[in-house]
């Protein structure tokens, strides 16, 4: 797994990135870019909440518009796990994957399984020029496994009447 420290914690860094990509610098774009950087794998609603805490108010449409522009310009990556809302991150330019907890929805980055970019070399590319692969691993995170184990343990604890809690009394 990869842990990466955000590089867009200050408004000036966000403004510089926007200018480098030829984008007009707006307070909405700066706030959205910082929100994504500060909360990798955030949903649009989470990004909007963070942006509102900085700006005071911003419409949902303005957040979606800013995210769309940032994705188009390669400053933000959009991932779309099956059955979940789209999520956004600012780790771009490398071929990494994601691991998602089936219980709580937590998302973490995972470097490519073998070597630098083996998943971009399909056995038969059917004439395509492959530039990205989206691999999502699914499982249960350690916190949810521990919580689940604690719940199972509680079900097996003997009740005062001598029966296991959660199970029917003997007939």
**76 shares a domain with 127:** yes
Half-sphere exposure of 124 (CA within 13 A, CB side): 1
Q: What number is the average pLDDT over the span 60-81?
A: 95
Query: Is 6 a domain residue?
Result: no
- Taken in order 121, 123, 128, 133, the sign of the CA dihedral is negative
Residue 4 lies in a domain: no
- The confidence score (pLDDT) of residue 154 equals 56
| 105 φ/ψ sector (left φ>0, alpha ψ -120 to 50, else beta) | left
Domain assignment present for residue 2? The answer is: no
Number of folded domains that form the chain: 2
The pLDDT of residue 165 is above 90: no
pLDDT at 41 over 60: yes
Residues 72 and 108 in one domain: yes
Compute the distance between CA of residue 41 and CA of residue 75 in angstroms, rounded to an integer.
Answer: 14
Residue 158 scores a pLDDT above 90: no
If asked whether residues 83 and 20 sit together in one domain, one would say: yes
Percent of the chain with pLDDT over 90: 49
Residues 166 and 91 in one domain: no
| Helices then strands, each counted (H, E), the chain | 5, 6
Q: Establish if 5 belongs to a structural domain.
A: no
My answer on whether 93 and 149 are in the same domain is: no
What is the pLDDT confidence band of residue 163, given thresholds at 50, 70 and 90? very low
116 with 156, same domain: the answer is no
Q: Map tokens 């900085």 to a residue.
A: 54
Domain residues for the domain of 149 are 142-171
pLDDT attached to residue 168: 40
Residues 110 and 59 in one domain: yes
DSSP string, 102-150: TTT--EEEE--SSSSSGGGS-S--TT--------EEEE--HHHHHHHHH
107 closest CA partner among 118, 97, 99 = 99
């Amino acid at each position: 797994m990869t842990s990466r420290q955000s590089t867009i914690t200050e408004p000036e860094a966000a403004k510089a990135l926007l200018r480098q990509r030829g984008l007009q610098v707006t307070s909405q774009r700066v706030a959205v870019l910082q929100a994504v950087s500060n909360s990798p794998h955030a949903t649009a609603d989470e990004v909007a909440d963070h942006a509102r805490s900085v700006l005071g108010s911003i419409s949902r449409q303005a957040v979606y518009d800013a995210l769309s522009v940032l994705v188009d310009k390669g400053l933000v990556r959009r991932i779309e796990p099956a059955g979940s809302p789209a999520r956004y991150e600012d780790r771009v330019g490398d071929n990494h994957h994601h691991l998602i907890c089936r219980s709580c929805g937590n998302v973490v980055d995972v470097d490519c399984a073998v070597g630098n970019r083996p998943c971009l070399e399909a056995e038969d590319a059917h004439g395509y020029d492959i530039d990205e692969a989206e691999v999502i691993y699914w499982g249960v995170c350690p916190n949810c496994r521990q919580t689940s184990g604690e719940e199972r343990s509680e079900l097996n604890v003997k009740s005062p009447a001598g029966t296991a809690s959660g199970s029917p009394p003997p007939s």
